[in-house]
């Protein structure tokens, strides 16, 4: 169970950094310009632009990547075949990142103010 929590937090952290982090402003802007121009592989650039603007979308691909190259919680915990588990790892990452992000956004919107 600990592996699942750590895996989800790593997926959230990576997604949060790529989608919202200022360190990725340059690459995101480059992808945006690439998608708006008449360049080679323009459709792929549009896909990347949309993916890096959506935490749930990016987390899905993070889950695929983590499941294939690092650790597959669906395979280990549920015993699903390796290939099928990679798909569900993407869904798990997307759902867990969405849940964590929703909780954090709720706290950001409902934090107390200093006004008495």
pLDDT digits (tens, 9 = 90+) for 4-23: 999 999 999 999 999 999 99
Give just the sign of the alpha carbon dihedral 18, 21, 24, 26: positive
Asked if residue 115 is part of any domain, the answer here is no
The predicted model scores a pTM of 0.82
Q: Whose structure tokens read 């915990």? A: 77
Q: Round to whole Å and give the CA distance between 75 and 7.
A: 13
Dmax over CA atoms of the chain, in Å, equals: 57
Report the number of distinct structural domains present in the chain.
Answer: 1
CA dihedral of 100, 102, 103, 106, whole degrees rounded to 10: 160
What residue numbers bound the domain in which 39 lies? Answer: 2-109
Is residue 114 situated within a structural domain? no
Q: How many CA atoms lie within 13 A of 27 on its CB side?
A: 12
Give 36-70 pLDDT, tens digit per residue. Answer: 888 778 889 999 999 999 999 999 999 999 999 99
């Amino acid at each position: 169970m600990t592996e699942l929590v750590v895996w989800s937090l790593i997926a959230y952290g990576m997604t949060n950094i790529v989608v919202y982090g200022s360190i990725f402003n340059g690459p995101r802007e480059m992808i945006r310009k690439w998608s708006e121009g008449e360049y080679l592989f323009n459709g792929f650039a549009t896909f990347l632009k949309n993916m890096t603007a959506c935490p749930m979308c990016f987390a899905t691909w993070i889950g695929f990547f983590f499941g294939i190259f690092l650790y597959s919680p669906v395979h280990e915990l549920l015993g699903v075949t390796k290939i099928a588990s990679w798909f569900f790892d993407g869904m798990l990452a997307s759902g867990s990142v969405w849940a964590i992000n929703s909780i954090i956004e709720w706290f950001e919107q409902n934090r107390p103010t200093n006004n008495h």
